[in-house]
Amino acid sequence: MTIGLLKEPEGENRVALLPESAKALIQLQVQIIVESRAGEKAYASDKDYEAIGASIHSRAEVLQADLILGIHPPTEEEQLALKDGQVLVCLFQPLSNKKLVERFLDKKITSFSMDNVPRTTRAQAMDVLSSMATVAGYKAVLMAASHSPRFFPMFMTAAGSIIPSKVLILGAGVAGLQAIASARRLGAVVEAFDVRAAAEEEVKSLGAKFVKVEGAKDEASAGGYAVEQSEEYKAKQQALIQEHARKSNIIICTAQIPGRKAPVLITSETVEAMAPGSIIVDLAASTGGNCELTENNQIIEKHGVTIIGDSNLPGTMPTDASKMYGKNMVNFLKLIIGKEGELMLNWEDDIVQNTCVTHQGEIRSERVKNILY
Ligand code: NAD
């Protein structure tokens, strides 16, 4: 089987497989063809890929591979040119991309979206969402610190004492927990808020205070994810967040609900009530943002508060982000590649079944089927 590695579109610095991960795949008896300059923005040259046994090709040739790998999907025109039975493994957010799902159904493409990997213990080594959220949570804190006019840690200096920054983290999932740990390491005083009751213990174990709003709806059937909350809960939450936001120098927003617009937690009035010089980093920017004023991929200033809307922070750390993505990818591909390097789809395996969005003109993932249809 040939596996084709795509160069990512303009503006994306990561690559789906660094040479070290490509080398691990070659050991599975497959042939790897790499689009010329695919890894250059992640500091991997064509020569590095050739050195581990891959060959360099044009994009058109890579798009003919039996299995195509990427982070972002190929362009619309390229998708339309894919052939019946070709396999695509990338990150295409099927829950907010119905048109693309229908195209893959029509073209009988076997498509796997890595954001569909179940959040189970066995699937952890393939969980690109967790890997990328780790990078984003860490980098969000560094960005906040570099834009802030204040120190993060407390200092006792000859010029007097400096009080530590107060950081509020909204959403204590993978990115939020990483942001807590990073902000604590820099010396800030950190508090965090999440609708999931299970988050309280994790927040506290990292040395942060948990901001608690009673009455949240928590659903076991949501697979550990948050669910939409009642209007009464939202009003209580709004009042408490406003109170904590006013006292914060930094807010890092990470709250998301899969397949939906991000919940608005910071209104324009809350921003107005914050001290000038405060910073908001909104990692939910691409799904509308947790802050009402966030503009995706923009850094703006409103009421003296800098609002950084960036949903692609992993792309700013392409070496380690690509390394993590590639390792997750190899672990996943091992499930669908047989001993002779052939495609082997075991529908009894819940990871294969749930990560697969379309196969032979049918939807395989129950989650996609239930939410989209
Ligand atoms: P996510 O990116 O979907 O959301 C980030 C956080 O925002 C979540 O903690 C969510 O509860 C929170 N949130 C949503 N709406 C909110 C609101 N209105 N107010 C405040 N917070 C809100 O989440 P994620 O980081 O991908 O993690 C989701 C879940 O999956 C968590 O329970 C996590 O522990 C779990 N998880 C499990 C595994 C595994 O076992 N393999 C791996 C990663 C994550």
Pocket-testing residue among 114, 168, 221, 225, ligand 1, by greatest number of atoms within 8 A of Cβ: 225
Classify 280 as helix, strand or coil: strand
What H or E segment, with its residue span, contains residue 169?
A: strand 166-170
Tell me, using a 6 A CB cutoff, whether residue 132 lines ligand 1.
Answer: no
Tokens of 14: 């990561």
Residue 361 confidence (pLDDT) = 97
Q: What is the mean pLDDT of the chain?
A: 94
Using 50, 70 and 90 to split pLDDT, how confident is the model at 8? very high
CA-based end-to-end distance of the chain: 33
Residue 214 confidence (pLDDT) = 80
Q: What are phi and psi of 315, to 5 degrees?
A: -65, -15
What Å distances lie between residue 342 and 33, 38, 45, 223, 337, CA to CA? 16, 24, 28, 32, 6
Using 50, 70 and 90 to split pLDDT, how confident is the model at 220? low
Question: Does residue 230 register a pLDDT over 90?
Answer: no
pLDDT digits (tens, 9 = 90+) for 235-281: 888 899 999 999 999 999 999 887 789 999 999 999 999 999 999 99
CA of 173 to the centre of ligand 1 (A): 4
CA of 344 to the centre of ligand 1 (A): 31
| Residues identified as active-site | 119, 124, 127, 130, 225
Tell me, using a 6 A CB cutoff, whether residue 196 lines ligand 1.
Answer: yes
Tell me, using a 6 A CB cutoff, whether residue 264 lines ligand 1.
Answer: no
Percent of the chain topping pLDDT 70: 98
Tell me, using a 6 A CB cutoff, whether residue 256 lines ligand 1.
Answer: yes
CA-proximal residue: ligand 1, atom 33 (nearest)? 173
ipTM of the shown complex: 0.94
Question: Does residue 218 register a pLDDT over 90?
Answer: no
Tell me, using a 6 A CB cutoff, whether residue 291 lines ligand 1.
Answer: no
pLDDT digits (tens, 9 = 90+) for 18-49: 999 999 999 999 999 999 999 999 999 999 99
Q: Which atom of ligand 1 is nearest to the CA of 224?
A: 32
Identity at 83, one-letter amino acid code: K
C-alpha 288: how far from chain center: 15
Q: Which atom of ligand 1 is nearest to the CA of 133?
A: 25
pLDDT digits (tens, 9 = 90+) for 340-360: 999 999 999 999 999 999 999
Pocket-testing residue among 178, 194, 231, 287, ligand 1, by greatest number of atoms within 8 A of Cβ: 194
Work out the average pLDDT over 135-164.
Answer: 97
Contact assessment for residue 329 and residue 114, using Cβ atoms and an 8 Å cutoff: yes
Pocket-testing residue among 174, 229, 230, 354, ligand 1, by greatest number of atoms within 8 A of Cβ: 174
Tell me, using a 6 A CB cutoff, whether residue 224 lines ligand 1.
Answer: yes
What H or E segment, with its residue span, contains residue 350?
A: helix 350-355
Q: What sign does the CA torsion over 253, 255, 258, 261 have? A: negative
Residue 232 confidence (pLDDT) = 87
Q: Which of 67-81, 107-121, 228-242, 312-326 has the lowest mean pLDDT?
A: 228-242
Classify 9 as helix, strand or coil: coil
CA of 3 to the centre of ligand 1 (A): 32
pLDDT digits (tens, 9 = 90+) for 59-104: 999 999 999 999 999 999 999 999 999 999 999 999 989 999 999 9
Work out the average pLDDT over 224-233.
Answer: 77
CA-proximal residue: ligand 1, atom 2 (nearest)? 256
- Which residue do the tokens 């790998």 mark? 69
Tell me, using a 6 A CB cutoff, whether residue 126 lines ligand 1.
Answer: no
The angle formed by the CA atoms of residues 183, 188 and 189, to the nearest 5 degrees, is 115
pTM: 0.93
